[in-house]
Amino acid sequence: MPHLSKSLPNSIRELKKQVIQSLSLGDINYALRLIHDRVESIITEPICTAHVFSSKELDFLCQQIGSQNLLSLKTDLHTTNASRVGQAPPPKIAYLLSRWQKTGGHSRLVIDFINSQPNKEHIIYITGIGGPSNLDYLKKNLSTNTRTKILTAPHGNYQKRLSWLQNELKNCGADHIYLFNHHQDSVIVSALVPELGIPGTFCHHGDHHLCLGVHLAHLSHIDFHPMGYHYCREKLKVDNFYLPLTFEDKGIVGHSVKSLTSSGLRTATAAGTNKIEIPYHVSYLDIVPKILKITGGTHLHIGRLTPWALHYLRRQLRQHQVPENKLIYIPWTPSVWKSLQEHDIDVYLASFPYGAGLTLIEAMGAGIPVIMHQHMYSRVLSGLEIAYPEAFSWADPDVLLKHISKLKREKLIQEGQIARLHYKNFHRPEMLRGFLADSNKATITAPPLNKEFQPQYDEWAAWQEAQLTFLKLIHRFLHRAIRKIRRTIT
């Protein structure tokens, strides 16, 4: 076999040449690996975050790979309904995942999709791209659903996993397939080609990085928040659906805002390292101690942080003469909603620089007012459109601190009622069930874009970003090192 260069191409054009050359030589594994590594290099580059969302060329290459691999499989292609004559079995739904994680919104979404269709059979296929899955946690969450099967790819290279997945899809008799792939999973995006003849939907959850699969024209396309819906439709020219994130209603249980003068304001944020420990012109780790200094209350943080972040956060507390017990740290909880209620939180501070969707909805569902952050340049990372329109948002940290210092009990009670109403109107599970029952008829209108968002591309912002060069290098190195450790494919 002629020699193939094993260095990562510097451009998409060079990458395309190498992929096509690999396919001509029958090296499908290397072609898949090339695309995976290219996406990996982009999503671990901080300056690409919320700037690069998709690639038609990479998606097209994945489909070429999948079509060629499908032809090489020895098993015969069965039609979806061939084995169903006279049997009338229940509809079967398949879900394609790269990895099942204990935390993360997309894992929760899959469970919601399954629970919303109890009359159907479900199969979860996991490729293992990106690391091992927490299967025990997955099985525990699906323990009451006896119609769900979980299948994981065999150990091996990319092509072996692709062949396994295509063989499974050819013969499983699925009526519909949902893609919940990680950004760089070239195996999943290559697997579901038009030749399979199975209807499918790309679920756009990898929404603030380049994600493979955005431009698969033979699949329907779901965006789960207004920012992504408008961007995909207006900028990327994708014919998409809007399906709001939903969450099971856990009710409001006796929450009441106490006298702020006697107990101090109780704030909270739910987010992990991947949303908070990001180079940015203002740091969550610096802001929280300042908030506690002003309020004299407590701050609940839900989500795992690195030891360095915790050390830095506690050091800042000491510098501001704030007792360390004012920070309540919970690495993980089965229910953010319930934890916010148990700690009687007065106001929820949305994570920054990367916002989170489901945890914000949990806070509003619990009847807790929210404070949003206007990201320096990204509407997607801000998430203003997920919150109720009256929610306060900030770009300048001094504005945030001033707002918090003036919060009154009556204002918080009133806004908590607005938050709860917003949840009931837009994020109840019934909306998901209605959509899945008949997506052709269940048209949901996406809220308009928030007019208050103003990108801060001025000289000051550019100067601030320039100061982060060294931090960006550190972030990029650590991010890639962690991903390399997690990777199990050689």
Show Cβ contacts of residue 454 under 8 Å, excluding neighbours closer than 6 positions.
374, 395
Strands (DSSP E) found in 120-182: 121-126, 148-152, 176-180
Mean pLDDT over 213-222 rounds to 96
Contact indicator for 317, 323 with CB cutoff of 8 Å: yes
Show Cβ contacts of residue 68 under 8 Å, excluding neighbours closer than 6 positions.
23, 28
- Radius of gyration of the chain from its Cα atoms, rounded to whole angstroms: 23
Per CATH, the architecture of 1-223 is what?
3-Layer(aba) Sandwich (3.40)
Show Cβ contacts of residue 65 under 8 Å, excluding neighbours closer than 6 positions.
19, 23, 28, 31, 32, 35, 162, 186, 190
For residue 445, what is the DSSP state?
Answer: P
Give the separation between CA 183 and CA 54, rounded to whole angstroms. Answer: 10
Contact indicator for 99, 128 with CB cutoff of 8 Å: yes
Q: According to the per-residue pLDDT averaged within each range, which of 75-79, 361-365, 373-377 is highest?
A: 361-365
Q: pLDDT tens digit string along 89-121?
A: 789 999 999 988 766 667 788 989 998 998 999
The pLDDT value recorded for residue 144 is 65
Could you give the C-alpha distances from 180 to 106, 143, 207, 213, in angstroms and in order?
7, 21, 12, 10
Q: Checking DSSP bridges between strand 121-126 and strand 370-373, what pairing results, if any?
A: unpaired
* Percent of the chain scoring above 90 in pLDDT: 67
Contact indicator for 299, 291 with CB cutoff of 8 Å: yes
Q: pLDDT tens digit string along 460-484?
A: 455 455 555 555 555 556 555 655 5
Place of tokens 């191409």: 9
Stated pTM of the model: 0.86
Q: Any bridge partners for residue 122, and if so which?
A: 93, 148
Can you say how many angstroms the Cα of residue 280 is from the centroid of all Cα atoms in its chain?
20
What CATH class does 260-428 carry?
A: alpha beta
Rounded to 10 deg, the angle between the 28-43 and 158-171 helix axes is: 100
Selected residue with higher pLDDT from 352 and 439? 352
The H or E element containing residue 404 is helix 397-405
Q: Report the b/e string of 395-420 with b at 16+ CB within 10 A.
A: bebeebbeebeebeeeebeebbebbb
Residue 447 has pLDDT above 60, yes or no: yes
Q: Report the b/e string of 179-205 with b at 16+ CB within 10 A.
A: bbbbbbbbbbbbbbbeebebebbbbbb
Residue 346 has pLDDT above 60, yes or no: yes
The H or E element containing residue 220 is strand 220-223
Residue 33 has pLDDT above 50, yes or no: yes
Cis amide leading into 353 (omega within 30): yes
Q: pLDDT tens digit string along 193-205?
A: 999 999 999 999 8
Mean pLDDT over 267-272 rounds to 96
Selected residue with higher pLDDT from 330 and 105? 330
What is the CB-side half-sphere exposure of residue 170 using CA atoms within 13 A? Answer: 19
Place of tokens 């949305």: 350
Amino acid making up residue 370: V
**If you write DSSP's letter for every residue of 348-375 in order, what string do you get?**
EE--SSS--SHHHHHHHHTT--EEEE--
Place of tokens 């029958």: 26
Residue 147 has pLDDT above 90, yes or no: no
The pLDDT value recorded for residue 1 is 39
Length of the chain in terms of residues written: 490
Residue 42 has pLDDT above 60, yes or no: yes
Residues of the chain with CATH 3.40.50.2000: 260-428
Residue 331 has pLDDT above 60, yes or no: yes
Handedness of CA 402, 404, 406, 412 (dihedral sign): positive
For residue 78, what is the DSSP state?
Answer: P
